[in-house]
Structure 1
Amino acid sequence: MKKKQLKELVNNMSLKDKIFQLLQLSGSFYQDAPDLVTGPKAKLGIEDDAIQNAGSILNVRGAEKTKAIQKEYMETSHNKIPLLFMADIINGFETIFPVPIGLGATWNPELIKQAAEVSAHEAAVSGIHVTFSPMVDLVRDPRWGRVMESTGEDAFLNSAYAKAFVKGYQGDADDLSDNNIIACVKHFAAYGAPEGGREYNTVDMSERTLREYYLPAYKAALDAGAKMVMTSFNVVDGIPATGNKWLNRDILREEWDFDGILISDYAAIKELEDHGVVENAKEAAKLALEAGVDIDMMTSVYANHLEEVINELPETEKYIDEAVYRVLELKNELGLFENPYRVANAEKEEEVILSDKHRNLARKVVNESLVLLKNNSTLPLNLNQKIALIGPYAESTSLSGSWSFSSDKDSTVTLKDAFSEWLNSDQLLVATGSRVVESEFLKDSLGNYYSEEDDMKLDEEAELKKAIDYAKQSDVVVMAIGEHYLQSGEGGSRADIELPQVQKKLVDEISKIGKPMVGIIFSGRPLDLKAEVNQFDSLLQAWFPGTEAGHGIADVVFGKVNPSGRLSMSFPYDVGQIPVHYNEFNTGRPLEDSGHSKRYTSKYVDIPNKPLFSFGYGLSYTTFNYTNFTLSNKILRKNEKITVSVEISNEGDYSGKETIQMYIRDMVGSVTRPIKELKGFKQVKLQPGETKTVTFEIDESMLRFYNREMSFVSEPGKFEVMIGSNSEDVQTLEFTLEK
């Protein structure tokens, strides 16, 4: 359909039908359920006419279901405008990849792009048009539950990942293929900085911090072609994001020239009342519409109140026309007017979903997402040993994270399954040992959502005894431990980010036996592991790895693959450090190189300043050495570039992949600058004894920041460039930016 026809369609629609196109409902409204009238329909107060003409549906999966709903909808709706089907496809559709914080640990945007392509392909043949991904919120506080959905603490790295996700989902945004779906960037903006790490809580920061650290990844996603943005639940400068005109119209629409769809998060327009910025739903509708929100997700605010708003303020109808046009334009770009079912196909589902090709990629992503935190030569494991695999994740299929709720757990490869492929039956002893977490914790935290399926029923005393017995019989103990997958994710904020106490007891008992111990840590966030660092000989951070969890981990544990993952978020030494991140300010009284006595410097008196494991950290089975670090010129002029070179040598016995990281520090600025900022990274594969030269280019644009006048500029002066394997272990050279 041509643009002229789309505009004619909008002009010919009644006001009510326009408003209904801005309504998104869950699939429960469109399925034959006897409790519909007393359930979601009654709860939201949605009229039949609105339901029959809503613009989009949330979280219906499967070709047969989506096609059946679309068929009935097209037969009953006024204007025969097809539905959009949207879903939370966060780290895979049915082939599940590591949770995004794990994807971030790959430091491999191309691999993330490939994973997003697989997710898009599986979703498309199942009838999905839009995914609520990527979440590009920068996070510095691991207490926040949605850390698992972020790619970390750094604006530069998050921006690279944001671009990769969008390109993977959408391909060429101007010419969507049948295998593509639409990317919805979220949550706009600064959702990852809630006070106290508490879900849905207040966010309060300066405009400089917002622009310099939190906004770049959203902008990178839009520059990559993302066609949809989701608002966040939090306030920005005291105004809820969903009703924030400065954020959504001035920055998103005008400054960034975004002409795609802006959708609210779940019930966020209705929650403007709870924020206390409007008195009622009608005012909420007006505020959100004027702020630029096109689609109301799962409330009746737009459907029941926008008509009244327009009757009182006729000039605001232009906002509805703009919003409706954007919705129809996206449906047109997807080809839904020509074929409302697009590529939904049950036969294709059977062929595409969980195919060998997709599973092989998932396994590779797991390989690269694993971060070796500690190793006293226990890994890789000797195949001639007797191994005790102990812990609540030894046989668990709950390895995909909290956003993979509709995936098939039976498709997940467990650790026991994978280890059994490497070892003879008499070499492997498997015991659960303990619950993942206390039943009472799950019941209290999940409330009405508690399910016995999420709980682990076992004879705790007998299991502990069995685990101890197996550990005594073994040569080495591998412990599969971590937080419950429902302890992270939305609504999963935690004040205590240590291992659950039932597992700490298990680790304590097994460690008394004195056998070499390997810890495999499953989590959706950085945990406080300072106790475990002392108890285990080796620690491997596995995140929630997804469908090919067992295979991907076994590849690394048994030495088929050399671990190459690097942290994209610091692991705190203690929760008292939070927020903790590598690119902090120096302060007037830094702990190091201060003219004051140590007592009166910026430090804790009871714990270190530094995190337990820093941003960019990760070990290998081999040793990489950095030599011949040079600059092509110590003077950088504004229209020129200088080249940074370093030689990387593999001095160990294993082939491996190293991630070389480049950081820059502006030594003197009109506003305080961080002690270092990531400005580049490259990965190289090296055989034992091999050396390669790695180069980076630095230009003036990489040195810009928001100055006192909030202009994005560079300032002449001295800079340091640092090269290393992580944010702490670096070599440093100086250069000068001339006027």
Structure 2
Amino acid sequence: MPDPIDDLLQRMNLSDKVGQLNHPKGTGDETTGVGPVVVDIESRIRRGEVGLLGGGFEPDHLLELQRIAVEESPHGIPVMFSMDVIHGHRTIFPLPLALAGTWDSDLIRRTVRVAATEAAALGIAISWAPMLDVSRDARWGRCAESPGEDPVLGAMFARATVEAFQEGGVDRPDAVISCAKHFAGYGLSEAGRDYHAVDASPYRMHNVVLPPFKAAVDAGVGSVMVGFHDLAGIPCSAHRELLRDLLRDRWGFDGLIVSDHTAILELVHHGVAADLKEAAYLAFTAGIDADLVSEAYLRHLPELVAEGRVAEADVDAACRRVLRAKHRLGLFERPYRGLDDDDRRRAVTLTPGNRSLAREAAAKACVLLKNTGVLPLAREDSTIALVGPLADSRANMQGTWAVAARAEESVTALDGMRAAAGNRVRILHATGANIVDDPNQAARLDVFGETAPIDPRSPDEMIAEAVALAGQADVVVACVGEAKEHAGESSTRTDLGLPGSQRRLLQALHATGKPLVVVTMSGRPLALEWEDRHADAILHAWFGGSEAGNAVADLLFGIVNPSGKLAMSFPRTVGQCPVHYAEAPTGRPVDQIGVDVAGDDERDHDGRNVFRKFTTACRLEGPHTPLYPFGHGLGYSRFDYGPLALDKTALRGDGDTLEASVTVRNAGPVAGEEIVQLYIGDPVASRSRPVRELKGFRKIHLEPGEERRVSFRITVGDLRFWRADRLAEAEHVWEPGRFIIEVGASSRALSAAAVEWAAAESRP
């Protein structure tokens, strides 16, 4: 039976093929200020110059554009509509960084299934998600979209997301093609400045950056988007070794490789291309199939083929990948994919079930950072002062990159608290502070609509109102943090404390002597040293999406027991960034060298000096460790860990296995979920290895008084690491020797034991 794609390609001329590689903007509006402005997209579709196009229009408009493609373009090839479906479509779920903190692949899958179903019902065929950039610098705004600092947790997130977007095959009416981005290393941008340079060794790339992307490829991801940044001097959009040698040849990826928005044009700004024609040549020969918005291919690929610099066979191969994606989607048979079915779209969008899942996910993503016992709040005969600029800010609940969201469909903390309290609890409300007081900052945050309004009253007047309400209350709940656009693309911060006069508000509330519960909302880790010292409880709620307010109320009143744990460490101060748990041991480790300073009596939670001269613990202002480490999270239960047990301490060869187990008991008064974490350290190796690395985890549910033995099966695969001098020539090795096995509740609360794992006996 003839291949329909072969038949189609034989009928297409070079211009037709190049047109399939073009993804222009759908409107004449400027976005980044870089790309060309497009007018009359309808005529361009008629000429066959559009292979992919951003969705986000009203369904009737998309329907008409697809009709033009199918009925009036040279070969009737349908357009593939794309969209950023990052953490929901119309039903918005918590930010990816928050979802990763559930450590729950099943929950993540369920949220992505809903997102895919809603997006597909609006004709979306490809989602620019998941974003898989390992991120260890809270200054970088796009950490909000990432699964956090750890490659193992990131790989779990990648598998769950890709499989959920594409579940059952992308030809299903409720599935879309998934796109892993940004390949690769974008999360390591210098100083957390978006779009900035990255200088990472192949060793670091393979051991830290690439595992989530490899997991996505292994899960069958249909597309990979290339990063904006340069990688050790070579922009990723022109990085042949990264895209062809590694992704295509070594990993065997045969899906679409797409540029980011105007990234091919930006090769000129990077200084590696003299003009747009040279940029098109560099990007295409590096391996990028589809050009988003730059129009470099449309303008210059035919000329490059005529000059013999680009082979038409390579254009055919790229066009084939675009056509094959459309064929897999079933677009040739069903080009309208839901656009012509209003009833179905209404039936699957923002349903009660979707909202219920959003509420569950938002509650499980929140992390209880601190609690002295003030939480959960009483649900009867009490008065609560609910204050802060985010207590009733509907525009901010969705968080960044919720492009199809509607603010009016979100639930605020005030809504949720009033609904949960009913008539039994009196809720008093005051704004208390602006998110920011600087009009210039407010303008930057309001770029996609007002999210940081500035009250006409002075900060002192607003604080005074909140303090007056606190005087009438039994407990104060302060909802503070960022505006949603403090995080996301092109949103770098160099101060990770609460912006504006919000800390002044907390200081005034603390001075009242009333119990103070702080609910922080943000798209990144915040620096909360003052809050940690003075608040009675801190609940980090991130931005929870459509049901954020109900989820916060569920947690504060104890209707739901907090279970989230951090996917990214919280620094004490911005000066520590980047900070993460999997640090290299360095030549001056705090536990092996150095001297204590006479007269310095500041100690850590283990009773050791926080400052130690001539070691890495040399931060003059205080502890060098994160305030809240990776994996940290409390609940209303108390989980007691028994001693770590190993079934053996001497092992040999590739075929041996080790069982590490620990008994966990719920010693608290309520049922709860605990995330038991396994870490392994390799103290002596041919490369300096991190002190510990996450290797596995188990999420368990325990009733009060219940205990469970949690076991991990460890193989040589868990001991391997990558040795690499070139990106495309890495070796996955394990080296016999001593290994440290650690199990516990976070990357800082661990029990440890050592094993010796020898090489297999050599045969005579």
Q: Deviations over 1:341-385 (max 9, x none)?
A: 123322112111110111111111011101000001010001232
Q: Which secondary structure does the structure 1 equivalent of 2:205 belong to? A: helix
Matched, 1:601 2:615: yes
Identical-residue share of aligned pairs (%): 38
Alignment-derived partner of residue 173 in structure 2: 178
Which of 640, 662, 668 is the aligned partner of 1:646? 662
Which of 134, 149, 157 is the aligned partner of 1:138? 134
Distance 1:462 1:732 in 2: 53
Which of 220, 235, 244 is the aligned partner of 1:240? 235
- Matched ranges for 1:289-368 at <5 A: 289-313=284-308, 316-344=311-339, 345-368=341-364
Distance 1:45 1:317 in 2: 29
Q: Deviations over 1:115-155 (max 9, x none)?
A: 00000000011111111000000001000000100010000
Which of 691, 701, 708 is the aligned partner of 1:685? 701
Deviation at 1:550, TM superposition (A): 1.0
Runs of 5+ unmatched residues, structure 1: none
Deviation at 1:318, TM superposition (A): 1.8
Q: Deviations over 1:475-513 (max 9, x none)?
A: 000001101111110011101111012211211222221
Alignment-derived partner of residue 671 in structure 1: 687
Alignment-derived partner of residue 81 in structure 1: 77
Distance 2:57 2:152 in 1: 34
Which of 397, 400, 410 is the aligned partner of 2:398? 400
Matched, 1:617 2:617: no
Alignment-derived partner of residue 157 in structure 1: 153
Deviation at 1:438, TM superposition (A): 2.2
Change (3 A) 1:62 1:224: farther
Distance 1:682 1:336 in 2: 41
Alignment-derived partner of residue 762 in structure 2: none
Deviation at 1:414, TM superposition (A): 1.1
Q: Which secondary structure does the structure 1 equivalent of 2:675 belong to? A: strand
Q: Which secondary structure does the structure 2 equivalent of 1:202 belong to? A: coil
Alignment-derived partner of residue 389 in structure 1: 386
Alignment-derived partner of residue 601 in structure 2: none
Distance 1:3 1:100 in 2: 43
Distance 1:627 1:413 in 2: 41
Alignment-derived partner of residue 411 in structure 2: 413
Matched, 1:724 2:724: no
Work out whether residues 483 and 499 of structure 1, in 8 Å CA contact, stay in contact via their aligned partners in 2.
Answer: yes
- One-letter identity of the residue aligned with 1:706: W
Q: Which secondary structure does the structure 1 equivalent of 2:613 belong to? A: helix
- One-letter identity of the residue aligned with 1:611: P
Task: Name the Cα RMSD after superposition.
Answer: 2.2
- One-letter identity of the residue aligned with 2:632: Y
Work out whether residues 670 and 708 of structure 1, in 8 Å CA contact, stay in contact via their aligned partners in 2.
Answer: no
Change (3 A) 1:283 1:587: same
Alignment-derived partner of residue 378 in structure 1: 374
Distance 1:703 1:503 in 2: 46
Distance 2:632 2:451 in 1: 36
Distance 1:260 1:653 in 2: 51
Change (3 A) 1:458 1:112: farther
Q: Which has the higher helix share?
A: 1
Which of 185, 188, 193 is the aligned partner of 1:193? 188
Distance 1:298 1:176 in 2: 26
Q: Which secondary structure does the structure 2 equivalent of 1:659 belong to? A: strand
Q: Deviations over 1:553-573 (max 9, x none)?
A: 111110011100000100001
Distance 2:706 2:417 in 1: 32
- One-letter identity of the residue aligned with 2:365: S
Alignment-derived partner of residue 23 in structure 2: 24
Q: Which secondary structure does the structure 1 equivalent of 2:7 belong to? A: helix
Distance 2:309 2:748 in 1: 59
Work out whether residues 179 and 222 of structure 2, in 8 Å CA contact, stay in contact via their aligned partners in 1.
Answer: yes
Alignment-derived partner of residue 431 in structure 1: 430
- One-letter identity of the residue aligned with 1:188: F
Matched, 1:66 2:62: yes
Distance 1:42 1:378 in 2: 55
Change (3 A) 1:80 1:475: same
Distance 1:151 1:62 in 2: 31
Q: Which secondary structure does the structure 2 equivalent of 1:560 belong to? A: coil
Alignment-derived partner of residue 629 in structure 1: 644
Change (3 A) 1:674 1:3: farther
Work out whether residues 133 and 185 of structure 1, in 8 Å CA contact, stay in contact via their aligned partners in 2.
Answer: yes
Distance 1:331 1:701 in 2: 37
Q: Which secondary structure does the structure 1 equivalent of 2:382 belong to? A: coil
Distance 1:678 1:549 in 2: 29
Distance 1:554 1:42 in 2: 45
Work out whether residues 268 and 276 of structure 2, in 8 Å CA contact, stay in contact via their aligned partners in 1.
Answer: yes
Change (3 A) 1:122 1:43: closer
Work out whether residues 27 and 60 of structure 1, in 8 Å CA contact, stay in contact via their aligned partners in 2.
Answer: no
Alignment-derived partner of residue 528 in structure 2: 529
Deviation at 1:591, TM superposition (A): 1.2
Change (3 A) 1:452 1:176: closer
Runs of 5+ unmatched residues, structure 2: 597-611, 760-764
Distance 1:61 1:148 in 2: 25
Work out whether residues 50 and 303 of structure 1, in 8 Å CA contact, stay in contact via their aligned partners in 2.
Answer: no
Which of 241, 253, 258 is the aligned partner of 1:258? 253
Deviation at 1:229, TM superposition (A): 0.4
Distance 1:40 1:259 in 2: 28
Distance 1:122 1:462 in 2: 44
Moved more, 618-627 or 463-472: 463-472
Deviation at 1:640, TM superposition (A): 2.3
Work out whether residues 61 and 128 of structure 1, in 8 Å CA contact, stay in contact via their aligned partners in 2.
Answer: no
Deviation at 1:535, TM superposition (A): 2.4
Distance 2:641 2:409 in 1: 42
Distance 1:694 1:707 in 2: 32
TM-score norm. by structure 2 comes to 0.92
Matched, 1:481 2:495: no
Distance 1:731 1:132 in 2: 40
Q: Which secondary structure does the structure 2 equivalent of 1:553 belong to? A: helix
Moved more, 247-256 or 307-316: 307-316
Work out whether residues 99 and 401 of structure 1, in 8 Å CA contact, stay in contact via their aligned partners in 2.
Answer: yes
Distance 1:260 1:450 in 2: 33
Deviation at 1:595, TM superposition (A): 5.9
- Matched ranges for 1:683-722 at <5 A: 683-707=699-723, 710-722=730-742
Change (3 A) 1:594 1:41: closer
Work out whether residues 570 and 581 of structure 1, in 8 Å CA contact, stay in contact via their aligned partners in 2.
Answer: yes
Q: Which secondary structure does the structure 2 equivalent of 1:386 belong to? A: strand
Work out whether residues 445 and 452 of structure 2, in 8 Å CA contact, stay in contact via their aligned partners in 1.
Answer: no
Change (3 A) 1:181 1:12: same
Which of 203, 206, 221 is the aligned partner of 2:201? 206
Which of 259, 263, 267 is the aligned partner of 1:272? 267
Deviation at 1:315, TM superposition (A): 5.0
Q: Which secondary structure does the structure 1 equivalent of 2:333 belong to? A: coil
Moved more, 590-599 or 360-369: 590-599
Distance 1:3 1:63 in 2: 35
